[in-house]
């Protein structure tokens, strides 16, 4: 069954979109990640204009982070003060990201911006994850307990001025690092159509040294607001949010996430991470090859007068 996507200006198969939403939702439930970094490239692969894919995917992540975040909220596993600081940086970053996106869109370079951001971030994150999980698998096979690396307490960046007490995280640190992390993630969110959890969570654990029990909840808390900001800003500046597309992805996503969470409980953590790392590297590889090999069509068309 086909459905017309009013902003993407194309018709797509409903079952394909819901199916993609469920597969990515399944993986995000299984691995505990947002899934935006898999969904946006998939949407581009099926022919959705990259600018529409990014903005609509940000809209979908609002839904998945609200449903995920509520569970943590009820368990009080959210550091609201830290979340608000991260969010302030995030909203500023998403504004900057959307402006950059708009500028490069007018110059015809936004597809390159999206692809190259993906190639860089996915290959770095994928490689780090793969290394870490393979190491963990080897250690467990040898029967050694895994040591969690927590080098030196309070690095100099956390001792910068403007310190604030975060009771929930039991921290007294400068607000400059969380603002900067928030800003970076907000920018990535606007450019790549992701929640940014894959950067935010390691940054909170290793840089801000937040206790792991509040990390996921706080990350989701700020993702809700940052992806909402990204959605509104893309709608205002670029008119690229396709609500019909986003809603179909949401439907698939929520169904998939529930089954994914069940499947994830049966698999071992480090093997899951190794699998996810391979998927991430695969997507990065595909995007890179698309940039390196001569495309079949060297020309592209952009309509100048867009009206309803």
Partner 1 sequence: MKTAVSFLATIALTALCASGGMAQKAHANALVADLSKDQIRVASNFTGEKILLFGAIEGTGPSGASDVVVVVRGPSENFTLRRKKRVAGIWVNAEARTLGPLPGYYAVASTRALADIAPVSERAKHQIGPEYLRFSLLNQTPEAAAPHAGPRDIALYHDSFVRIKSGQNLYSVDPNGVSIIADRLFRAELTLPSGLPFGTYITEFFLFEKGRVVGYQTGELSVAITGLEQWLRVTAHDMPLLYGLFGVFIAGLMGWGVATLFRRV
Return residues touching partner 1 (CB under 8 A): 1-4, 6-7, 9-11, 59-60, 62-71, 106-109, 111-112, 116, 224, 228, 231-236, 239, 241, 243-244, 246-247, 250, 254, 258, 291-295, 297-308
> What size, in residues, is the chain?
308
Task: Return the structure tokens found at 39.
Answer: 């969904």
CA-to-CA distance for 166 and 84, rounded, in angstroms? 11
Written as one string, the DSSP assignment of 252-280 is: HHHHHHHHHHHHHTTS-HHHHHHHHHHHH
CA-to-CA distance for 173 and 21, rounded, in angstroms? 39
Minimum CB distance to partner 1, residue 300 (Å): 5
Give 81 or 234: the residue with its C-beta nearer to partner 1. Answer: 234
Minimum CB distance to partner 1, residue 55 (Å): 9
CA-to-CA distance for 223 and 182, rounded, in angstroms? 10
Instruction: Tell me which residue of 302, 289, 277 sits closest to 115, measured CA to CA.
Output: 289
CA-to-CA distance for 264 and 50, rounded, in angstroms? 30
Minimum CB distance to partner 1, residue 93 (Å): 17
Give 6 or 282: the residue with its C-beta nearer to partner 1. Answer: 6
Minimum CB distance to partner 1, residue 284 (Å): 14
Give 203 or 250: the residue with its C-beta nearer to partner 1. Answer: 250
Give 51 or 130: the residue with its C-beta nearer to partner 1. Answer: 51
Give 222 or 228: the residue with its C-beta nearer to partner 1. Answer: 228
Element (H or E) spanning 60, and its range? helix 50-74
Minimum CB distance to partner 1, residue 65 (Å): 7
Minimum CB distance to partner 1, residue 22 (Å): 13
Instruction: Tell me which residue of 111, 126, 158, 104 sits closest to 31, measured CA to CA.
Output: 126
CA-to-CA distance for 58 and 187, rounded, in angstroms? 12
CA-to-CA distance for 270 and 274, rounded, in angstroms? 6
Minimum CB distance to partner 1, residue 299 (Å): 4
Sorted by sequence, the CB contacts under 8 Å of residue 124 that are 6+ apart come out as none
Give 162 or 292: the residue with its C-beta nearer to partner 1. Answer: 292
Minimum CB distance to partner 1, residue 75 (Å): 12
Sorted by sequence, the CB contacts under 8 Å of residue 297 that are 6+ apart come out as none
Give 263 or 278: the residue with its C-beta nearer to partner 1. Answer: 263
| Pair type for strands 163-166 and 171-174 | antiparallel
Give 71 or 263: the residue with its C-beta nearer to partner 1. Answer: 71
CA-to-CA distance for 3 and 12, rounded, in angstroms? 6
């Amino acid at each position: 069954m086909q459905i017309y996507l009013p902003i993407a200006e194309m018709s797509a198969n409903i079952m394909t979109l819901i199916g993609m939403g469920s597969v990515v939702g399944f993986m995000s439930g299984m691995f505990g990640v947002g899934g935006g970094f898999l969904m946006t490239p998939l949407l581009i692969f099926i022919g959705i204009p990259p600018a529409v894919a990014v903005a609509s995917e940000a809209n979908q992540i609002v839904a998945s982070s609200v449903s995920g975040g509520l569970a943590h909220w009820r368990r009080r596993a959210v550091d609201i003060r830290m979340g608000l600081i991260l969010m302030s940086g995030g909203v500023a970053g998403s504004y900057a990201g959307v402006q950059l996106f708009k500028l490069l869109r007018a110059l015809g370079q936004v597809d390159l911006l999206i692809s190259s951001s993906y190639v860089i971030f996915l290959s770095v994150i994928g490689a780090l994850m793969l290394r870490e999980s393979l190491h963990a698998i080897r250690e467990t096979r040898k029967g050694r307990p895994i040591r969690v690396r927590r080098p030196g307490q309070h690095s100099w960046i956390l001792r910068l001025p403007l310190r604030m007490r975060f009771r929930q995280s039991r921290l007294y640190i400068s607000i400059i690092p969380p603002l900067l992390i928030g800003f970076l993630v907000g920018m990535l969110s606007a450019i790549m159509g992701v929640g940014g959890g894959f950067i935010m969570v390691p940054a909170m654990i290793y840089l801000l040294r937040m206790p792991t029990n509040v990390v996921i909840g706080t990350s989701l808390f700020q993702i809700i607001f940052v992806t909402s900001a990204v959605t509104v800003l893309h709608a205002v500046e670029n008119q690229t949010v396709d609500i019909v597309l986003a809603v179909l992805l949401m439907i698939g996503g929520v169904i998939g996430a529930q089954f994914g969470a069940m499947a994830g409980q049966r698999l071992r953590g480090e093997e899951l991470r190794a699998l996810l790392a391979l998927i991430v590297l695969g997507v990065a590889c595909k995007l890179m090859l698309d940039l390196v090999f001569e495309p079949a069509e060297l020309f592209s068309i952009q309509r100048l007068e867009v009206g309803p």
